[in-house]
Amino acid sequence: MLAAISPEVRPQQPITPDWVKNAVFYQIFPDRFARSGRVTGLNLQAWGDQPHFHKYMGGDLWGVIEKLDHIVSLGVNAIYFCPVFQSASNHRYHTHDYYQVDPMLGGNEALTALIKAAHERGLKVVLDGVFNHASRGFFQFNDLLEQGDASAYRDWFHVEGWPLSAYDDARPAGYHAWWGNRALPKFNTGNPAVRDFLWDIAEYWIKQGIDGWRLDVPNEIDDDSFWQEFRRRVKAINPDAYIVGEIWGDAHRWLAGDQFDAVMNYHFTRPCLAFFGAHTLDHPMNERSGTGFVPPMSAPEFGQRMTEVTQMYHPDVVAAQLNLLDSHDTARYLTAVGGDATAYRLATIFQMTYVGAPCIYYGDEIGLPGGPDPDCRRAFPWDREQEWDNTTLNLTRQLVRARHATTALRQGTFDVTYAEGDQIAYARAHAEGNAHVALNCAHHAARILLTGVQAGSYTDVLTGLTLELSGDTEIEVPARSGVVLVPARAEGIV
């Protein structure tokens, strides 16, 4: 394994893309988002059937293009896609060919058309990069299975002993695989040929016009120099490309400015479950899901923790963190909190008024439920619009619009000014004007103290009402709701 760059020559200050600091992301699981009907001759589940580990719904990238109006209507300006490359799995983390978009998704032609259509609408496109492992169908691994020790690609993987057993669980696999899953042979990234292959993939798709990479389990390529060169090559082509890693724990190692721009911010996710869903958390559900057991939090505990999260990394990194309430790897937030839609709405208010880049998991905006994988990967119910939670949908649109219109909500500091019981208030301070947010998680109305309010007119994003405020003042906040006060001069917020 190659040595990492020594700490003394690492960047002194991370440089992250400015556009991410002003972005709202939308995460799409391609097989379940939208089916165009242009890809035919497939054995598919009926759209909307119960998700299955091995069955396909048939969503494709042409379908995404057809639904861009919905995505744009939310106000989002970036899309993060789960893997799109050729694979024998509905989630496509089992990559067969990194240079070919899965034919079921419409192939390379569909991705090219999607990138063009998205960019014309001001949407960035970030793809999922699965570089730690490939699949049994990956050509180089298939050669290994066919040729054994004589394979030209023997050293692309970690062979432990012969013969290899890629399918018979009763026998030792004979090679390293991701978490022992023999369907996912782990690359030998110490091999220069493998490194060049993976770096070339990263460069190739950036040249095709994508705006960044979300990196799957990048900590399992335990080699700083690999990711340092990955970043150098990607940024040489597009300095504004976004590199975000799936790191669930402490990520200082990767966020010094020479590897990733940010990570998926699960340090944001768990406290949002713990506070807004404190009274309805489905603990067995969460323990079966990626989040694990989540102990409830009070407002003071939540305020302290979210302040700590803003201080974990360099401010430019914090501003580029991908803040998610759930994902394809966890139960959906709505289900994790026992179906309490008010908890999801409160969490969404917080997400859209906190530091970092919010990320909406497809379907959450209309109240789509879902338990642990594969249930969290349900088909988007385009044909059942009467079942959509339009209260949540309209709230999402209001909040995203306000975030784009208010500099303080995107770039301001985060300062908790009140935290008692089930109520919290915080300020987002910025030279262009401050914003103040008060959230009431109780089942009764409450008066919440706002402190240090600059004198002036403020509009409540959620009601459209304009208030004249200054200094310290109490405001009435309805049960299980909030108040988001922004300078009234901000345009387009309601």
| Active site amino acids | 216, 246
H or E element, residue 402: helix 390-405
Maximum separation of any 2 CA atoms in the chain, in Å: 78
DSSP 150: G
The count of other CB atoms within 10 Å of the CB of residue 405 is 20
Residue found by looking up tokens 């509905």 in the block = 90
Pairing relationship of beta strands 415-420 and 262-263 according to DSSP bridges: unpaired
Distance CA(446)–CA(437), nearest Å, equals 14
Handedness of CA 126, 128, 129, 135 (dihedral sign): negative
Distance CA(319)–CA(357), nearest Å, equals 7
Distance CA(373)–CA(256), nearest Å, equals 33
H or E element, residue 173: none
Contacts of 474 (CB under 8 A, 6+ apart): 447, 448, 449, 450
**Helix-then-strand count for the chain, H and E:** 16, 16
H or E element, residue 3: none
Q: Output b/e per residue, 257-287; b: 16+ Cβ within 10 A.
A: bbbbbbbbbbbbbbbbbbbbbbeebbeebbe
Query: How would you classify residue 312: left for phi > 0, otherwise alpha for psi between -120 and 50, otherwise beta?
Result: alpha
Q: Output b/e per residue, 174-206; b: 16+ Cβ within 10 A.
A: bbbbbeeebbbbbbbbebeebbebbbebbbebb
Distance CA(149)–CA(144), nearest Å, equals 7
Handedness of CA 146, 148, 153, 155 (dihedral sign): positive
Q: Pinpoint the alpha helices (H) of 54-147.
A: 61-66, 68-73, 107-120, 139-147
Structure tokens of 97? 């060919």
The count of other CB atoms within 10 Å of the CB of residue 119 is 13
